Amino acid sequence: MASTLSPPARAHVELLERVWEERKGVFGWVTTVDHKRIGLMYLFASMAFFAAGGVEALLIRTQLIGPQQHLLSPETYDEIFTMHGITMIFLVVIPMTTGAFGNYLVPLMIGARDMAFPRMNAVSFWIFLGSGVFLYVALATGQAPNAGWFDYVPLASKQFDPGTNIDFYGYGLIFNGIASTATAINIIVTIFKLRAPGMSLNRMPLFCYAFLAAAFSLVFALPALTLATIFLELDRQLGFHFYDAGFGGDPLLWQNLFWIFGHPEVYIIILPAFGIATSIIPTFVHRRMVMFPMVALAELLVAFLGFGVWAHHMFAVGLPTLVTVYFAATSLIIVIPSAIQLFAWITTILTGKPEFTTPLLWIIGFIVFFIIGGLSGVTVAAIPFDQQVNASYYIVAHFHFVIFGGAVFPILGGLYYWFPKVTGRMYHEGVGKLSFWLSFIGTLVTFFPMHIAGIEGMPRRIYTYTAASGWTTLNALESAGAYLLAAGLLLVIVNLAVSLFKGAPAGADPWGGDTLEWATSSPPPAYNYAVIPTVSSAYPMWDEEDRERDRRRLERGQGLLARGHETPGTTVQDALLDEVLAMPPSSPLPALVGAVVFAGFIALVLAHFLIAAGIGGLAAALLVAWHVPPRGEKPAAEGGAR
């Protein structure tokens, strides 16, 4: 791109390069507030946790490969499967979607130069990292959470689980929730306020709708989990009785609060994946998404309805029939917006000219698995059937198809799809396809037999079984599938890692994509866009006149916004230009706040409450210092700020 610029345009680009220059080296990464660098740090951190969670999965499958194995003791097995669940949900999928993909791509797709709150963005990364390290400190010291990822009381109460295992769970999830809430608020405000001029809500990419819906769900669902864990820690540390039936408490209160969070959580996991699918499909079938408004509304509707189905996780606990029937009905209703999206994807593929590249293959794999997981979901929404297979491997099969097939497959497809944008290099197509097929077959072989094992009565979470149970063959098959799957995933990493150094140059837009991120160079510069793009349809990259107009404005230096880290703020609905926002420069404070909060949670888990309060005061002082006026900011004259 740079070679084709005329002298005035090049001068303008050089000005921006100076204004947005970042510190080099490790210190540059620690102090960065650039959404792309933060997104990459989220990606690397969540990949590391993905590896850890994957190793835990392989340990589980190796333990279950045959009857009466002794690789793991029953106690260790409890810790491993609990950590596998917590890791994959809180440390992999949420940070990978909202953190890595959301951070990196949302500002690029809406034509902004950063997130709405860049420093809060950095602090949410450091807090997320702190919470992950916190939970793995627990595993390293043999005190890992061990009551399952949904941590039911009374098993998780002090009486039956007296160690610090559950305290690590309680504090760790509150800790993690701070980061997720901050990221979600950031994504919503960014989407509402920072869209490029002309990108009214009806022209916003479906990817952003999906992330908007997921972010809203996070903001409003996480408090229920935070509250449940606050109650749990009050019970465990200070002798409160929220969950203690002997003193008028109720263990079902935990289940209700947990699933009021836990079911929206499923959509928090899968909605970003829907967004990735709706980005990849139009690019590789070379046509627009069919039913654009319906898909956008369906994405929002799924998130909304997700708040009304939580008790379908509790059909077997003895709720009144009327309640269970209500929740069975809402669970079936949610099929409608899900099916709208599914039919929209399938129709788009069938009526386009599909080009079966690696990213599209992962999306097709996702559609297949989402259908399998969705259908088994319909079966467990039927109360009598659910009561039969509850807490069996059938459920494990169901949610792994939905979460692994439904959320992780699009994430992997997305990694391939945006790899050229992020690195400026192409991945290896052949190896990419091989990695897909290995993972696809591996997923089927690992998780499909679990349906049968579940129907045959194999319960979840058992650390071993006898040969007489008749589950030996199925389990051996599942374990073999797990190794195959691991090989496929390893191949993804190898492909991307080697391509990072050896891949062919990608150019700005190797796919002919439809959304704005393909307008800028690969990798994007710190300021994202030399001139702020303007948008006149939902497919800005296919509007050649608009992009030509951007190039002419770069020549004239119009809309350069180079007096500092600047980006336009627009109105929420119509995206009319409203103001020019000054973004903060890099700062060491976010990482420092993250470190202080980490120390505070360590003090909490060691039950040093006064020290924790002191550290909390320090964090508050840091947050006041945070608002030091930026250099060169002039107070408004008396009588006229706005």
Is residue 568 part of the contact set for another protein (CB under 8 A)? yes
What residues between 48 and 107 interact with another protein by CB under 8 A?
Answer: none
What residues between 527 and 546 interact with another protein by CB under 8 A?
Answer: 532, 534, 536, 545-546
H helical segments located in 382-471? 383-389, 393-400, 409-423, 429-455
Q: Which of 210, 260, 519, 593 binds another protein (CB under 8 A)?
A: 260
Task: For another protein, give the closer residue by CB, 103 or 226.
Answer: 226
* CB-based contact 285:346 (threshold 8 Å): no
Q: Between the CA of residue 631 and those of 22, 218, 582, 584, what are the distances in Å?
A: 17, 35, 12, 10
Q: Cβ of residue 543: shortest distance to another protein, in angstroms?
A: 9
Segment contacting another protein by CB under 8 A, of 37-45, 80-88, 148-156, 250-258: 250-258
Task: For another protein, give the closer residue by CB, 257 or 302.
Answer: 257
| Dihedral over Cα of 80, 86, 89, 94: its sign | negative
Task: For another protein, give the closer residue by CB, 107 or 198.
Answer: 198
Q: Cβ of residue 157: shortest distance to another protein, in angstroms?
A: 13
Q: What is the DSSP letter of 561?
A: -
Task: For another protein, give the closer residue by CB, 227 or 332.
Answer: 227
Length of the chain equals: 642
Task: For another protein, give the closer residue by CB, 121 or 146.
Answer: 121
Task: For another protein, give the closer residue by CB, 231 or 274.
Answer: 231
Task: For another protein, give the closer residue by CB, 485 or 535.
Answer: 535
Is residue 120 part of the contact set for another protein (CB under 8 A)? yes
d(CA 443, CA 441): 5
- Residues sharing a CB contact under 8 Å with residue 102, sequence separation 6 or more, in sequence order: 39, 183, 187, 211, 215, 272
- Residues sharing a CB contact under 8 Å with residue 336, sequence separation 6 or more, in sequence order: none
Q: Cβ of residue 203: shortest distance to another protein, in angstroms?
A: 9
Is residue 618 part of the contact set for another protein (CB under 8 A)? no
Is residue 634 part of the contact set for another protein (CB under 8 A)? yes
Task: For another protein, give the closer residue by CB, 232 or 415.
Answer: 232
Q: Cβ of residue 638: shortest distance to another protein, in angstroms?
A: 5
Q: Cβ of residue 537: shortest distance to another protein, in angstroms?
A: 9
Is residue 516 part of the contact set for another protein (CB under 8 A)? no
What residues between 182 and 201 interact with another protein by CB under 8 A?
Answer: 184-186, 188-189, 192-194, 197-198, 200
Is residue 202 part of the contact set for another protein (CB under 8 A)? no
Q: Which of 240, 326, 385, 542 binds another protein (CB under 8 A)?
A: 240
Q: Between the CA of residue 491 and those of 90, 432, 496, what are the distances in Å?
A: 24, 8, 8
Task: For another protein, give the closer residue by CB, 342 or 583.
Answer: 583
What residues between 142 and 181 interact with another protein by CB under 8 A?
Answer: 181
Is residue 587 part of the contact set for another protein (CB under 8 A)? no
Segment contacting another protein by CB under 8 A, of 16-24, 361-369, 465-473, 627-635: 627-635
Is residue 116 part of the contact set for another protein (CB under 8 A)? yes
Mark residues 476-515: x for contact with another protein by CB under 8 A, - for none: ----------------------------------------
Q: Which of 325, 350, 391, 623 binds another protein (CB under 8 A)?
A: 623
Q: Which of 56, 114, 233, 244 binds another protein (CB under 8 A)?
A: 244
d(CA 219, CA 435): 35
Q: Between the CA of residue 495 and those of 358, 434, 487, 488, 613, what are the distances in Å?
A: 12, 10, 12, 10, 47
Residue 405 phi, psi (nearest 5): -70, -40
Q: Cβ of residue 221: shortest distance to another protein, in angstroms?
A: 8
Please report, in angstroms and rounded to a whole number, the separation of the first and last CA atoms in the chain: 41
Task: For another protein, give the closer residue by CB, 521 or 534.
Answer: 534
Q: Which of 361, 575, 592, 597 binds another protein (CB under 8 A)?
A: 575
| Nearest by Cα to 306 from 277, 326, 335, 278 | 335
| Nearest by Cα to 72 from 422, 464, 452 | 464
Q: Which residue has the tokens 């077959």?
A: 441
Is residue 227 part of the contact set for another protein (CB under 8 A)? yes
d(CA 243, CA 107): 43
| Dihedral over Cα of 426, 431, 432, 433: its sign | positive
Q: Cβ of residue 575: shortest distance to another protein, in angstroms?
A: 7
Q: Cβ of residue 93: shortest distance to another protein, in angstroms?
A: 20
Q: State how beta strands 566-570 and 577-582 pair.
A: antiparallel
Task: For another protein, give the closer residue by CB, 41 or 561.
Answer: 561
- Residues sharing a CB contact under 8 Å with residue 22, sequence separation 6 or more, in sequence order: 28, 32, 34, 37, 526, 586
Task: For another protein, give the closer residue by CB, 25 or 629.
Answer: 629
Q: Which of 57, 208, 210, 257 binds another protein (CB under 8 A)?
A: 257
Task: For another protein, give the closer residue by CB, 34 or 478.
Answer: 34
d(CA 365, CA 362): 5
d(CA 203, CA 95): 27
Q: Cβ of residue 545: shortest distance to another protein, in angstroms?
A: 6
* CB-based contact 519:529 (threshold 8 Å): yes
d(CA 225, CA 207): 27
What residues between 419 and 478 interact with another protein by CB under 8 A?
Answer: none
Is residue 122 part of the contact set for another protein (CB under 8 A)? no
Q: Cβ of residue 305: shortest distance to another protein, in angstroms?
A: 17
* CB-based contact 145:86 (threshold 8 Å): yes
d(CA 123, CA 129): 10
d(CA 47, CA 147): 25
Segment contacting another protein by CB under 8 A, of 8-16, 353-361, 448-456, 628-636: 628-636
Q: Which of 481, 553, 589, 591 binds another protein (CB under 8 A)?
A: 553
Q: Count interface residues toward another protein (CB under 8 A).
A: 81
d(CA 526, CA 523): 9
* CB-based contact 225:258 (threshold 8 Å): yes
Segment contacting another protein by CB under 8 A, of 48-56, 153-161, 233-241, 455-463: 233-241
Q: Cβ of residue 547: shortest distance to another protein, in angstroms?
A: 12
Q: Cβ of residue 357: shortest distance to another protein, in angstroms?
A: 32
Is residue 229 part of the contact set for another protein (CB under 8 A)? no
* CB-based contact 500:478 (threshold 8 Å): no
The token duo for 556 is 């004239």
Task: For another protein, give the closer residue by CB, 443 or 567.
Answer: 567
Is residue 291 part of the contact set for another protein (CB under 8 A)? no
DSSP per position, 123-182 = HHHHHHHHHHHHHHHHHHTT----STTTT-TTTTSTTT--SSHHHHHHHHHHHHHHHHHH
Contacts by 611-614, CB closer than 8 A, 24 or more apart: none
